[in-house]
A and B are shown apart, each in its own frame.
Chain A
Amino acid sequence: MQPILEMRDITKTFPGVKALTNVNLSVMPAEIHAVVGENGAGKSTLMKVLSGVYPDGTFTGKIMFEGKEQKFSAISDSEDIGIIIIHQELALVPLLSIAENLFLGHETAKMGVINWYEAYARTKELLKKVGLNESPDTLITNIGTGKQQLVEIAKALNKKVKLLILDEPTSSLNEKDSDALLELLMEFRAQGISSILITHKLNEVTKVADRITVIRDGSTIDTMDCSDGTVDEDRIIRAMVGRELSDRYPPRHATVGQPVLEVKDWSVYHPHHAERQTIKGVNLTVNAGEVVGIAGLMGAGRTEFAMSLFGRSWGQKITGTVKLHGKEVDVSTIPRAMDAGLAYVTEDRKTYGLVLIDHIKHNITLANLEDVSKRGVIDDIRELQVANGYRRDLAIRSSSVFQKTGNLSGGNQQKVVLSKWLFSGPDVLILDEPTRGIDVGAKYEIYGIINKLAEAGKAVIVISSEMPELLGMSDRIYVMNEGRFVAEMPVAEASQEAIMRAIMRS
């Protein structure tokens, strides 16, 4: 049988980073094909190549669909031939009705005048197909995420889908909704529609997938056929993480001291959904000179935990106690958390970390202007010395400290953010994905900086989705899943398999 889709030797590079290297993927007609891999392995990039988000010419390789080579210059090209992608963040307009969303951009109209009778009739038909019992009039904002997901799928059906791509469709669904969604995929398979399912949840994969492709570090590792009975979760996990830990991490000499930060019974609710508890009674201790890692998948609540701790910058109804050096402290606002000795290096440096239109010097001193000023007047010379000092110490590669941070590479931007927080003089440094989107060389330098901080007696928390990095950097690792710490292990007892197991079986 001919595969419905074949992607051959797909290679995609971003400035400084090779995201995909000779990736191959083939999907058979009426097949559910799972694509699995760690965060950042390249799954989403591959799907963006397939759906035309990255147009032909921005990558190398061939896409064959139904036996013909395809060159997409926009998403609409791939949709026209029946490839529909449903993203993790749903693309629905909340304040429009289900019917309006279903036909958005493809209205049942003549000369621009919409025929609502036809739209409603067809909406009812489509909703029936996906098993959604709602009126076409209902606003999207009034139905839950699970049902919204079904509306997205109904939208895909309306466009005569032949290959449906779902990116983490169940990550925000509860078990019942997830099961319903997987049932639906199997029904589609019976009707001859193929699906690509991208997911972290291995139990789902083994339940519905016909074949599984594992991607790691931008390359295809293996494609497994589930029908021969040799595929189980352990084999998938091994393929996902199976990389040797080499000397990509500078050596550490940890001398762990007294507890610096102690968090007890920390619990946080979602800022927009007051009934949803995102962090559920977390306890954490970090000692002087210690690097503590927090492992977990996307959506586990790691960033939410860190930000809620840092001056309640995320969430509401926050309860729990925070002790620094054994004394309870007030961290209810960002300035208070900073006064107490906390610093938080964000995972999204462009949105939350830097003033991109301003230069390096101004960014470095922003969180601690008091130390370069007297009675509110900035001492230019002192500020320049501080900025130059960090530029030298952290090797921020730039023409001078007057270079705009928006023009720096990811690694150097990260060093500027790190400088800013080092200059604020914290006791506890929370680093959220400190090496995301950074090339290998800069990563090594950042690890060196983290080591130096720990050696200087600071308490360091590293949140990372790259497990090898956590294993290489931390002294101790907490594993987080669905708002809870589900395991705690000294690094000597930790392994990628152990962490994955703790997550999958929690």
Chain B
Amino acid sequence: MAQATETSRDKIDILHFVKANIRDYALLISLLIIMAYFQYSTNGTLFMPVNMTNIILQNSYIVIMALGMLLIIVAGHIDLSVGSVSGFIGAVAAVFMVQWKMDPILSVVVCLALGALIGALQGFFVAFYRIPAFIVTLAGMLVFKGLALTVLGGASVGPFPKEFQLLSSGYVPDFTTFELFGQPFNVLAMVIGLVVTALIVRANFKERSNQLQHSMAEEPNVIFYGRNILIAIGFLGFSYLMARYRGLPNVLIVMFALIVLFTFITTRTTFGRRIYALGGNEKAAKLSGINTERLILLTFTIMGALAGLAGLIFAARLNVATPKAGLGFELDVIAACFIGGAATTGGVGKVVGAVIGAFIMGVMNNGMSIMGIGIDWQQVIKGVVLMLAVFLDVYYKQKQG
């Protein structure tokens, strides 16, 4: 009898917890459902190793920019210029490396610095002159679209040096030449996958034991273990797919490192905490001694650098800088953040959410293309998904009161 009540109370706890965190789970479950659907409707093409690798390569620049955009949206602002800035930086890189024959590494460094400078310039007007970011970055969008055209002289410039192409088309070389089922199998990818999985699960368990010690663990056991098992399956399965093709793309390493870094920044550092406070209540943050102007300037600077990096990756992937590069990227990036649960009013949003949001868009793009759906209907469907995601978010918030 006592046993029965105990179990039913556990059930209530689990239900309660899931309800309170429904937004996080709903997002992940949506991604899984979308993947399952396209796996079915593309006759298994979606999860083929080569296609999975493609999805990573196609979406890396969106994910990378979404990281910076998340900071900006959490701070209560927006950046419409990221597409143009990334296109412009790609163009500048082409001029440096193709036309001036500059050293690729030096070019990359200068390009990233230039991106940061552009971000800082826009952030300066937002932070110190209080011009709405919408206006500042709308102007930036026009300016840098135009400058990209000017720099390239209206034509495409390429190809890039081999070393630079590696940024997007390179893979981390394997230490063996192992074969599985008669095909090459990248052992390093699998090993790295194992190590990363182990590290993540270990970090989760360490946090859990800390929480238990200070009796602040809110997550029921079942969900905690279930979550970790899912994480392990996800990461190991993904590494397996990568290993079956050509291993880990260089871009994946860069992207993953940045995701980890930005997760750390937003959850563990004073800088991140202050951005959430700034977006949550700017006046209160200011009166708490936070230098809100400097904070805004910094977030825009980071965004600029990331837009620069995304521009380089995109240029390296196409192996040519075109005046049209970066067109419309800002829409995908901003959509990723909002699908991922960031609030338009600022103060709310998670890095993981933005990343999942970006992949929801990415998988849909990829899946619909494989299915042969035209670009026209793709746009319509993506628009509906964005609207639906934000609507559900708002709806649940109103229901919770």
Contact = CB atoms under 8 A, between A and B. Distances in A.
B269 interface: yes
Contacts of A211: none
B268 A367 contact: no
Interface stretch (A144-152, A316-324, A354-362, A449-457): A354-362
Contact of B270 (A334, A344, A356, A378): A378
B248 to A, nearest CB: 28
B90 interface: no
A448 interface: no
A363 B290 CA distance: 13
A315 B168 CA distance: 54
A386 interface: no
Nearest to B264: A377
Interface string A212-252: 00000000000000000000000000000000000000000
B286 A358 contact: no
Contact of A338 (B270, B281, B289): B289
Interface string B206-225: 00001000101010000000
A335 B289 contact: yes
B304 interface: no
Contacts of B380: none
A313 B268 CA distance: 29
Contacts of A75: none
Nearest to A336: B289
A369 B273 contact: yes
B41 interface: no
Contacts of B274: 369
B78 to A, nearest CB: 19
A14 interface: no
Contact of B277 (A310, A362, A380): A362
A398 to B, nearest CB: 14
Main secondary structure of the interface of B (DSSP, over half): helix
Contact of B269 (A338, A346, A376): A376
A353 B348 contact: no
Given A377-B269, A378-B269, A366 B285 contact: yes
Interface string B285-304: 11111110000000000000
Nearest to A362: B273
A379 to B, nearest CB: 9
B271 A376 contact: yes
Contact of A366 (B218, B268, B288): B288
Interface in B259-273: 268-271, 273
A400 B283 contact: no
Contacts of B276: 355, 358, 362
Interface of B: 210, 214, 216, 218, 268-271, 273-274, 276-277, 280-281, 283-291, 347-348
25 contacts: A313-B287, A334-B286, A334-B289, A335-B291, A346-B287, A352-B283, A353-B287, A356-B281, A357-B281, A357-B348, A358-B276, A358-B277, A362-B277, A366-B273, A366-B284, A366-B290, A367-B288, A369-B273, A369-B274, A376-B271, A377-B268, A381-B210, A385-B214, A402-B218, A420-B288
Given A334-B289, A351-B283, A402-B216, 15 more contacts: A310-B287, A334-B287, A334-B288, A351-B284, A352-B287, A355-B347, A356-B281, A366-B290, A367-B288, A367-B289, A370-B270, A378-B268, A384-B214, A385-B214, A402-B218
